[in-house]
Chains A and B, each alone.
Chain A
């Protein structure tokens, strides 16, 4: 009759091996979720929805132009670019306050999931030079969850701003 008598060394080695296997390969393992997760959806930024106007009309350009707002829209998970999605843009500019109707405009993404919208120069408001963007979920038939972004410009004298939307199917 043999008796297994584990030493501390074997106990530690066994525990470490079990932990590593569970962590990496188990049902909620890191390797598995890294493979399945793909591109993570963009979370809504605090204050992003402030002064949003649902259904602001599609425009060629907001006001007189001079500032370029650009961005990309991708699907969460597989990261596929999303064409024809409706993005609303607004900010406090040289031509109006955020709450003014004329400060808002919407545009659609092109075949590569890219949008470009010209608007008046954004100026600092409430202490920061920033813009607002929204995926206009209720006026879009894409079936994705709404996302609001409030990117802060690196410098108030910048004449363009670029963002990335990653949308989660609703």
Chain B
């Protein structure tokens, strides 16, 4: 006797709802930032630098979900492959953010990079930036050098938590284009997703599509 097929409601809940939720969680903060009145007073480079930061925050939510295989259709190795590609995108977004801000006001960015900025949030952004660079390096070198996966993955994961924590503390103190509430929701989601994947029960990392009972 064949096993019953999933009903349409169940399919919607398991296959589409997570994607819908992620799409909403990512696009709403970006849309609110795009409507900020501050944009009218900024040149294109500054606007780009700002949005690179907003997009980087959104990618922080996607990355743990991909690493943990929690997105429907992207379990196990498929999710991790996309996690690597998005990781490169995150790296590019951070570099674009820093470079664009440097072009907008070189002395302010130099102050931040040398940890002597008058703003309290700069130090967290710089720490998160170095952690992103280091996380990318561990992933690239770990695979290339064929180090024990669980070794470089441990370091990579530790650095990733520093990236998320530092970025959230950085972003929440900034008075900028993002809306306060949507920024807080996105930050909380990124922290929750990271915590779930890093400290959640091991069987939550879905390696293959298993029938749901």
Q: A residues touching B (Cβ–Cβ < 8 Å)?
A: 45-51, 92-99, 123-129, 150, 156
Contact = CB atoms under 8 A, between A and B. Distances in A.
A152 to B, nearest CB: 8
A103 to B, nearest CB: 11
21 contacts: A45-B118, A46-B111, A46-B116, A46-B118, A47-B108, A49-B107, A50-B105, A50-B107, A51-B107, A51-B108, A93-B41, A94-B40, A94-B41, A95-B41, A96-B41, A123-B38, A126-B119, A127-B121, A127-B174, A129-B175, A156-B175
B173 interface: yes
Contact of B46 (A45, A47, A93, A97): A97
Q: Most chain-B CB neighbours within 10 Å: which of A48, A97, A99?
A: A97
Interface residues of B, number: 22
B178 to A, nearest CB: 11
Nearest to A152: B118
Contacts of B175: 124, 127-129, 156
B41 A126 contact: no
B117 interface: yes
Interface of B is mostly: loop
A128 B119 contact: yes
Contacts of A124: 38, 175-176
Given A97-B46, A127-B121, 19 more contacts: A45-B118, A46-B111, A46-B118, A47-B117, A49-B107, A50-B107, A50-B111, A51-B108, A123-B38, A124-B175, A124-B176, A125-B105, A126-B101, A126-B105, A126-B119, A127-B122, A127-B173, A129-B175, A156-B175
Contact of B105 (A45, A48, A99, A128): A99
Contacts of A48: 118
4 smallest A-B Cβ distances: which pairs? A127-B174, A50-B107, A47-B118, A46-B118
B104 interface: yes
Nearest to A49: B107
Contacts of B46: 97
Contacts of B38: 123-124
Contacts of B104: 97, 99
Nearest to A99: B105
